Structure 1
Amino acid sequence: MKAFLIGLFLGILAIPVVIFCYFHLGHPPVAVADSPFPMEKQIVRAPLQARIHAEMPKSAPIEASGTNLEAGAHIYRQQCAACHGLYGRPSSFAAHMYPHAPQLWAPHGNGTVGVSDDPPGETYWKVANGIRLTGMPAFDKVLNPTQMWQVSLLLANADKPLPSSALDLLKQPLDLDTVNLAPPTANVPPQKITDLNAMPSPLPPDQQ
């Protein structure tokens, strides 16, 4: 019995040592092309979904009017399209990210387009808070709540007929050299960025 207990203790003690050696001396999957850990997606998805459903707004404070959908399309082009694609125009590098950036205007599964089967409040939470280690940033310091709702409602209606003004914006090809990198509230025209140090900051002066 004593030998069993000693073996059990040493076995338990060895687990963190093996894990430490694996991460520091082995080859854990850190590159995009690496195979994921077993059950990685399921392990990460469970706490993420629990957090989102506990905190997401249950209803939108604005309606999906033509004006709001068009505003959402403008913001989407500026802030989201580079990774998440446009109508009929998938992102050129999204498939080479890990995890892949979902293409929000592409049908999948049972014909659902993008995240149109998610409640708008869930999309709002993701836009506002971002998701760690996915490349999805938090926009709550870049966009105001109305703008985040406008984008969220646009995406919730991706599988429905959209106003022609919004659809036209989503069909225009994206020129990454002329994307407006300033927040929409700045109301400045698109400009070509040739110097990263000259890139306009999305933060107000008192937070830069």
Structure 2
Amino acid sequence: MKHGVAVVGSFLGGLLVLPVFVALYLAYGRPPVATADAPFPFEARIVQLPLEARIHREMPSTAPVSVTPDTLAAGAQVYRNECVACHGAPGKPSSFARTMFPEAPQLWAKHKSGVVGVSDDPVGETYWKVRNGIRLSGMPAYGPVISDTEIWQVSLLLSVADKPLSTEVMTTLAP
């Protein structure tokens, strides 16, 4: 009987010590908070799982706007005004994106898989990310800043970033 009480007492004591340890760890500034710090173990995975689930649950399945030359031209203007500083332009990656944590993806560059930016993502996913932002990533929510139509325009532009674009669009996007 005494052995069982000791085990339960040790378990409860451990439960009390853990929050104190965590509070001291946080209070003394030990967590990686600078962008140059190495991430917590599993940090990206812990954040990615619920993000992916929520996006796929809430993203619109179709765009209310079509891919037209006018839509792409308007999307290029939105991109230049709101996105280029962090996500770069065709042929000109952002100069400070690599110092962000996590690093801002360059939406006009080919990834290791050969995909350009987010052109392989469903356009509704890009729309969701632009509209709502992504916590702990530096990606702000543009829903309160630009119109829904503008969010769709830039999302549609990014969905065709792997295709040839008009001179007008490329001129607007030029650094």
Inter-partner Cα distance in structure 2 for 1:169 and 1:111: 24
1:5 corresponding residue in structure 2: 8
2:84 corresponding residue in structure 1: 81
Q: Which has the higher contact order (CA 8 A, sep 6+)?
A: 2
Indicate whether 1:92 and 2:92 are aligned.
Answer: no
Inter-partner Cα distance in structure 2 for 1:155 and 1:78: 14
| Partner secondary structure for residue 107 of structure 1 | coil
Inter-partner Cα distance in structure 1 for 2:96 and 2:47: 23
* Shift >2 Å, 4+ stretches: none
Which amino acid in 2 is paired with 1:97?
M
Which amino acid in 2 is paired with 1:52?
I
Deviation at 1:155, TM superposition (A): 0.3
Please, which of 14, 37, 50 is the counterpart of residue 34 of structure 1? 37
1:139-154 aligned at under 5 Å gives the runs 139-154=142-157
TM-score, normalised by the number of residues in structure 1 = 0.80
Inter-partner Cα distance in structure 2 for 1:169 and 1:131: 26
Structure 1's unaligned 5+ residue stretches are 174-208
Deviation at 1:109, TM superposition (A): 2.1
Please, which of 23, 26, 30 is the counterpart of residue 23 of structure 1? 26
Task: Calculate percent identity across the aligned residue pairs.
Answer: 56
TM-score, normalised by the number of residues in structure 2 = 0.95
Deviation at 1:133, TM superposition (A): 2.5
Indicate whether 1:160 and 2:163 are aligned.
Answer: yes
**For 1:43-65, what per-residue CA distance to the aligned partner results, in whole angstroms no more than 9, with x for missing partners?**
00011111111111110111111
1:34-53 aligned at under 5 Å gives the runs 34-53=37-56
Alignment RMSD: 1.0
Inter-partner Cα distance in structure 2 for 1:53 and 1:91: 28
Which amino acid in 2 is paired with 1:106?
A
Inter-partner Cα distance in structure 2 for 1:48 and 1:18: 29
Deviation at 1:23, TM superposition (A): 0.7
**For 1:4-46, what per-residue CA distance to the aligned partner results, in whole angstroms no more than 9, with x for missing partners?**
1111111121111111111112511000111100000000001
| Partner secondary structure for residue 67 of structure 2 | coil
Structure 2's unaligned 5+ residue stretches are none
Indicate whether 1:133 and 2:142 are aligned.
Answer: no
1:178 corresponding residue in structure 2: none
Which amino acid in 2 is paired with 1:161?
P
Inter-partner Cα distance in structure 2 for 1:163 and 1:90: 20
